[in-house]
Amino acid sequence: MAVGFAAILAALSSCKTVETVPEVRVLTNDSGVKLGEFMAHGPTFLLGGGRPADGSSAKPDVPSGVSARLLEMPSPHNREARFFTPASGTLQVVSVERPSDYHLVAKDLGAWRKLVRTPSAELQASGGLRSSLSEIPWVNGARCFHAKARTYRFPWGDAIVFLTSYVQGNTGGPVNNDMLVLVVQGFTSDGRYAVCGQFPIRHPRLPESLWDKGTKGKVVLPLEDEPGQVETWLGSQPDDAFQPSFSAYAGFLESLEIKGGRPFLRSTGEGG
């Protein structure tokens, strides 16, 4: 006997191994930020993440969801080996319906949910944005500072936005435009999805790269020694001094439409 599609969905929805892949699109806007096509994926492992070296079973780092990349990404000014992680230019919307199934998700979920509801004026002083608080999905790099942090309420949910740089070791250089990242971490109003982006952003008074020799007229901020100095200087800069501006990125995020999507059925035992 044939089984109707609605019955199949109902059966899947009652199964404990089900999470959903969201439907995301960008509505018409004048932000100037252009995003490519969203691609769906199942649970995955990030390079350097939770998978054991011997290939044995482990919890994935990235829940099922969708991701898209900015169409216009600046080229790095230096292509040599580096100890920092430049902005990926990627926006990810992933399921947090089953957080315990994933490595480095469940332990930080509650802290992020609290942060996105914290008034902007209290964020910097609260200390909640500590470097050990991993993004969802996780980023393989440590945040050096948290500048210009503020919270937003978008049509799809709440988010926190801040500036940082990611490092994996000693850089021996100043904050620069090759490694400055605008981070977005948010959650949809229904609580089903985490929204995370790492976008490129620059300031004309910062050196262009870690090895930039033309520092005349530039602001040189030691990355490792003075995180407070970095946060103070970046925090004092007008939003429209950055390129793209904070308002451009906010307008882009405002234009996102995120809806609950199709069920994604995970096989028994997947993810540990």
Mean pLDDT lowest among 23-37, 119-133, 154-168, 240-254: 119-133
195 in Cβ contact with 91 (< 8 Å): yes
Interval 135-164 mean pLDDT: 93
Average pLDDT over residues 225-240: 88
pLDDT at 3: 41
Give me the residue spans of the domains in the chain: 20-265
Confidence category of residue 225, pLDDT binned at 50, 70, 90: low
> Does a cis peptide bond (omega within 30 degrees of 0) precede residue 137?
yes
- How many whole angstroms separate alpha carbon 217 and alpha carbon 230? 17
pTM as predicted: 0.86
pLDDT digits (tens, 9 = 90+) for 170-184: 656 788 998 899 999
> Which is more confidently placed, 163 or 169?
163
